């Protein structure tokens, strides 16, 4: 027994020091060690088979015991930080919660309300909602990405949002920055106008019918992103349906990521299972299809692909098509789905608060004649329109999962406000709970109240009480719907222009009549986090305005 104890102790120390996740060294330590012991100690057991079973069982029990005792002991570097016992023991608990209901954002928010600004959500991971966390963690001198982003690595390469090395990320981001500069944005604005026209035309054709507005916002986002990224027409708005099953494909490709991202060490083992990656392979094939279609068009269009493939020759080495296809899939998922999600949340709030809808309509009507096309400069300066969008993004950021960063080994740790974060610690920023922190947004941090984004001397609260501006706290530096810093969303400005144009067009041209009250009552209940957000239906009747 002493030999098994010594071997298990040594194995634990090796695991703790090197954090092996690749199958070969892990299997050597987990299976090779007890099998070797069994062959040596076989004379102490009734046969080799018995020895192998006994030594393996004892070895694994001891390893589990060593891990558990250390993680809940006062000697652990994160022992000072509160959190539930299952979280302290293993990230498998968060993976279970994510896989079973997709409500980890709600769970973590409840933990913060119970424990405060810093909560231990894993053996070596903290969720932080401190008011200074964005600048410290996401800013120019912030922290690199954590192992959560290993889920973005694929056989053909790593997508932009999965690159953990800040220097490499800066290099890969350069073509995205060129794609989003002012000259390229003019081209994208034409595409937005075209897609908005398809949206209003499709809604007008279905006047009086009950439609799912969530679905139609998805059509809008995917149609625009297809044109913007690959000059490809999905024609969902014109057809009034998902012509290629893309929405279902996106949902299926992301549903497993919501739990795998909590235990990324499992990825090499999942790859050994035949068919385990089928959903993502289907999504990648969809990206390859539109990328190869774009190649056939030549380099005449200044779309996103034009810049990702460096068709103007800015870079010393031209990117490979396979890598660009991976980023193309990212653009379809992250670009289209996040804008569509935000717009669906937006309409839910407008239907729930008709007074806000009418106030927004007055601003839109005053700014535009009925047949005016989008004026992107004017829309960017419309205070109430942007206040309503910001408030939607605050309460329901499209990416509900935490933005994970890591305090690297050898750095000596990092201070976030008054909290010291030891090295080798993952730091997770969950926008859903940062945005609801009363130290960042008050009063009524859980209430949809667009006025908090307006600059005024006095404010009329949702209760009707009038208060001075000093009583209203809106920390824009804690607003992270598009992340912040050098790894922030590259397409933020285009996404905002797209959403503003869609909102103005629909608000001015149509009345929206809710077809089923239960949709609003159940909205948050059916909302799920799976990298992006999975929403319920929003049945409405669209009535053209006289």
Q: Is 440 annotated as a binding residue?
A: no
> Cβ-count burial of 305 within 10 angstroms (0-12 exposed, 13-18 middle, 19+ buried)?
buried
* pLDDT on residue 545: 87
Local confidence band at 186 (pLDDT 50, 70, 90 cut-offs): confident
More confident residue, 42 or 69: 69
More confident residue, 332 or 359: 359
Report the percentage of the chain scoring pLDDT > 90.
Answer: 48
* DSSP annotation string for 263-300: -GGGHHHHTTSTTTTHHHHHHHHHHHHHHHHHHHH-S-
Q: Are 169 and 190 in contact (CB under 8 A)?
A: no
For 445-492, how does the pLDDT look when each residue is reduced to its tens digit (9 = 90+)?
999 999 999 999 999 999 999 999 999 999 999 999 998 988 888 888
Mean pLDDT score of the chain: 87
> Structure tokens of 142?
């912030």
Most confident of 171-180, 264-273, 534-543: 534-543
For 134-169, how does the pLDDT look when each residue is reduced to its tens digit (9 = 90+)?
989 998 888 988 888 877 766 666 777 777 888 888
Mean pLDDT of 335-357: 92
| Cβ density class 150-163: b for 16+ within 10 Å, e for less | bbbbbebbbbbbbb
* pLDDT on residue 474: 97
* pLDDT on residue 86: 96
> Cβ-count burial of 226 within 10 angstroms (0-12 exposed, 13-18 middle, 19+ buried)?
buried
Mean pLDDT of 10-33: 81
State how far the Cα of 229 lies from the Cα of 187, in Å rounded to an integer: 12
* DSSP annotation string for 197-244: HHHHHHHHHTTTSEEEHHHHHHHHHHHHHHHHHHS----HHHHTS-TT
Using DSSP bridges, classify how beta strands 125-128 and 425-429 pair: parallel, antiparallel or unpaired.
parallel
> Structure tokens of 330?
């990212």
């Amino acid at each position: 027994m002493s030999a098994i104890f010594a071997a298990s102790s040594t194995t634990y120390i090796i695991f703790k020091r090197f954090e092996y996740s690749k199958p070969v060294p892990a299997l050597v330590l987990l299976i090779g060690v007890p099998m070797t012991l069994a062959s040596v100690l076989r004379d102490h057991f009734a046969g080799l088979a018995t020895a192998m079973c006994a030594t393996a069982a004892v070895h694994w029990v001891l390893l589990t015991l060593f891990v558990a005792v250390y993680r809940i002991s006062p000697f652990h570097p994160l022992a000072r930080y509160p959190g539930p016992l299952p979280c302290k023991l293993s990230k498998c608990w968060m993976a279970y919660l994510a896989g079973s209901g997709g409500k980890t954002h709600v769970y973590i928010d409840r933990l913060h309300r119970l424990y405060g600004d810093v909560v231990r959500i894993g053996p070596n991971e903290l969720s932080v909602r401190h008011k200074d966390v964005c600048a410290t963690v996401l800013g120019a001198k912030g922290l690199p990405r954590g192992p959560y982003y290993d889920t973005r690595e694929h056989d053909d390469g790593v997508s932009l949002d999965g690159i953990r090395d800040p220097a490499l990320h800066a290099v890969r981001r350069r073509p995205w920055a060129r794609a989003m500069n002012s000259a390229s944005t003019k081209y994208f604005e034409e595409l937005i106008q075209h897609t908005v026209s398809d949206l209003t035309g499709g809604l007008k054709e279905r006047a009086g019918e009950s439609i799912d507005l969530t679905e139609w916002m998805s059509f809008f986002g995917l149609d625009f992103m297809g044109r913007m990224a690959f000059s490809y027409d999905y024609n969902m708005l014109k057809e009034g349906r998902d012509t290629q099953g893309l929405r279902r494909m996106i949902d299926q490709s992301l549903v497993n990521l919501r739990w795998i991202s909590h235990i990324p060490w499992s990825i090499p083992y999942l790859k050994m299972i035949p068919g385990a990656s089928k959903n993502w392979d289907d999504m990648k094939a969809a990206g390859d299809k539109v990328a190869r279609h774009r190649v056939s068009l030549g380099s005449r269009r200044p779309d996103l692909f034009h810049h990702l493939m460096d068709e103007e020759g800015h870079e010393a080495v031209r990117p490979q098509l396979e890598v660009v296809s991976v980023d193309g899939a990212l653009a379809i998922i992250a670009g289209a789905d996040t804008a569509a999600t935000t717009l669906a949340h937006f309409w839910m709030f407008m239907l729930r608060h008709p007074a806000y809808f009418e106030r927004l309509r007055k601003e839109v009507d005053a700014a535009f004649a009925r047949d005016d096309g989008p004026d992107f400069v004017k829309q960017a300066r419309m205070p109430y329109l942007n206040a309503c969008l910001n408030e939607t993004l605050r309460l329901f950021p499209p990416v509900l999962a935490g933005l994970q960063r890591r305090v690297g080994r050898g750095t000596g740790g990092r201070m976030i406000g008054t909290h010291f974060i030891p090295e080798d610690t993952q730091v997770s920023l969950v926008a859903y709970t940062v945005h609801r922190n009363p130290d960042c947004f008050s009063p009524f941090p859980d209430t949809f109240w667009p006025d908090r984004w307006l600059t005024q001397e006095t404010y009329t609260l949702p209760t009707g009480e009038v208060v001075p501006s000093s009583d209203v706290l809106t920390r824009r530096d804690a607003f992270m719907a598009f992340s912040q810093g050098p790894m922030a969303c590259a397409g933020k400005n285009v996404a905002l222009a797209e959403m503003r144009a869609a909102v103005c067009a629909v608000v001015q041209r149509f009345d929206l009549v809710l077809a089923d009250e239960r949709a609003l009552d159940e909205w948050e209940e059916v909302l799920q986090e799976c990298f992006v957000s999975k929403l319920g239906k929003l049945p409405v009747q669209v009535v053209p305005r006289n």
